[in-house]
Amino acid sequence: MNIFHVSAECYPIAKVGGLADVVGALPKYQKLLKNEVQVIVPAYQTSFVKNQKFNTVFRGKTYLGNQKIDFSVLTLQENNLGFNLYLIKVGDFFDSADVYQFPADVERFIAFQLSFLSWIKETNQIPDLLHVHDHHTGFIPFLVKYTKEYAPKLANVPTFLTIHNAQYHGDFGFDKLHLLPEFDHFKIGLLEWNGRINPLATAIKCAWKVSTVSPTYLEEMSLAANGLEDLLRNERPKSIGILNGIDIEIWNPQTDYNIEYHYSPRDVSKGKDANKKQLCEIYGFDEKKPLFAYIGRLAGEKGADLLPHAISIALNKFKGDINILILGSGDTTVENHLKDLIPFYKSSYNAHIGYDEKLAHLIYAGADFLLMPSRVEPCGLNQMYAMRYGTIPLVRRTGGLKDTVIDIGDGGFGICHDQASVEDIVFSIGRAFGLYQDKTLMSKVIKMEMKRNNSWEQSAEMYLKVYQELIKMTGDVW
């Protein structure tokens, strides 16, 4: 099969969140299963892009309304990513390191999608399947079917949408309809949801198949999707939940180049101690105390707004017998609250506001517990990274967290709570504190979680199976 993944993010080229990790890993595993796999992302000026050498393989033009846009397609001179990468330089829309630049994203991502389609059309590369991710690439399933420009060549190509987060739709007003190329106007309803142009809704309606990133989130999405619930319920027959995996080559405590002290399940205690010592030295923490960490976006969805209050209650309650470290950025009010706490709990709490991939790896390796009190978590990868590094996840039972973490009370390896509330977080920290005192149980739990196989292998095969069913349908549908 020749599969094309089109996305706004892909690790290590451009990363904001989990979308990048998935698009940087799933294609690699699909390629290992003997497929041709191409990944297409905009040519942002990220440090990865600036530090690599590229060849230009195609130059073309497209139109955003009346505006002519020149674009070029670049490939890496030396590629060891495990899949074919194409970057599209679209006018000067992506000449910065910022992946997202709302509100300019409407124009940016339409221009990107049109450039991509023009390139494959002009070069006669007809994919066996087009896999698009989230709303940034959501017009593609519509454009290939209903535009004069692309339908003649591409209408029969099966399209597959993965929803990584149904909260974000990328919607905008009909005043920008002219940005799209001429299409069959009987189909205008496919672009619309609640009176606006909604690329996520369009993709849900037009893609041959819709997936989301965990079975539980598939259920939850029909109940809470920022206004798309009815549509998702309607399209449920063509929808499926496939759990994300993790890239076990990158996330491997035995070989991870981001950490100094490597370890396996056999010498985990020694390995984690060494990493913890290094981490605690940076922040002036006492390494004998349990270290709780939070890594990720500081957003309401992730329950990050609950953290400042939960942290101060927990630190007061356990009177300096625990350490807490935060790494992330996002909502400025949450960032400020988290920073404001630092002077009050100097030797047991710190917050690193920002994004630091290397530090994240050290935290997974050195922390004892990872907090994930998410309100919404379509899959969540951090709990799986934590498990692989012998760090025990404390999660709210939602979405993919529910599908991947089993509570120690049920014979599992994590600590789960039901409410996204300060009380539940503090209660879970208390349970973790108790577990930390029981060294035998703690080490049993760590070994158990490290043995879990959360690699992409199984899920990559599931995707391929579904693709194959769609490809078989091609003849029937048209």
- Return d(Cα 252, Cα 298) in angstroms, integer: 26
Nearer to ligand GLC, 397 or 431 (CB): 397
404 binds ligand GLC (CB under 6 A): no
Q: How far is the CB of 400 from ligand GLC (least distance, A)?
A: 6
Q: How far is the CB of 142 from ligand GLC (least distance, A)?
A: 22
- Return d(Cα 228, Cα 388) in angstroms, integer: 35
- Return d(Cα 181, Cα 140) in angstroms, integer: 12
Number of C-beta neighbours around residue 156 at 10 A: 13
Give residues 358-387 in contact with ligand GLC (rule: CB under 6 A). 377-381
Q: Which of 18, 91, 141, 328 binds ligand GLC (CB under 6 A)?
A: 18
Q: How far is the CB of 20 from ligand GLC (least distance, A)?
A: 8
Q: How far is the CB of 378 from ligand GLC (least distance, A)?
A: 4
* Dihedral angle sign, alpha carbons of residues 283, 284, 288, 289: negative
- Return d(Cα 96, Cα 349) in angstroms, integer: 34
Q: Which of 19, 370, 425, 426 binds ligand GLC (CB under 6 A)?
A: 19
Give residues 189-228 in contact with ligand GLC (rule: CB under 6 A). 213
Q: Which of 38, 137, 244, 404 binds ligand GLC (CB under 6 A)?
A: 244
Nearer to ligand GLC, 150 or 456 (CB): 456
Residue 437 belongs to what H/E stretch?
A: helix 422-437
Q: How far is the CB of 48 from ligand GLC (least distance, A)?
A: 19
Q: How far is the CB of 22 from ligand GLC (least distance, A)?
A: 5
Q: How far is the CB of 47 from ligand GLC (least distance, A)?
A: 21
Which residues lie closer than 8 Å to 377 by C-beta, 6 or more apart?
Answer: 217, 301, 302, 395, 396, 398, 399, 400, 401
- Return d(Cα 222, Cα 26) in angstroms, integer: 25
**Which residue number has the CB closest to ligand GLC?**
18
Nearer to ligand GLC, 113 or 211 (CB): 211
Nearer to ligand GLC, 365 or 381 (CB): 381
Residue pair 164/133 in contact by the 8 Å Cβ criterion: yes
Which span (15-23, 81-89, 185-193, 288-296) binds ligand GLC, by CB under 6 A? Answer: 15-23
Q: How far is the CB of 241 from ligand GLC (least distance, A)?
A: 11
Nearer to ligand GLC, 170 or 378 (CB): 378
Q: Is 439 helix (H, G, I), strand (E, B) or coil?
A: helix
164 binds ligand GLC (CB under 6 A): yes
Residue pair 236/204 in contact by the 8 Å Cβ criterion: no
143 binds ligand GLC (CB under 6 A): no
- Return d(Cα 96, Cα 45) in angstroms, integer: 5
Nearer to ligand GLC, 22 or 416 (CB): 22
Q: How far is the CB of 226 from ligand GLC (least distance, A)?
A: 13
**Residue type, position 388, single letter:** R
Q: Which among 343, 394, 385, 339 is positioned nearest to 364, based on CA atoms?
A: 385
Residue pair 292/317 in contact by the 8 Å Cβ criterion: no
| Contacting positions for ligand GLC (CB under 6 A) | 17-19, 22, 164-165, 213, 244, 377-381, 400
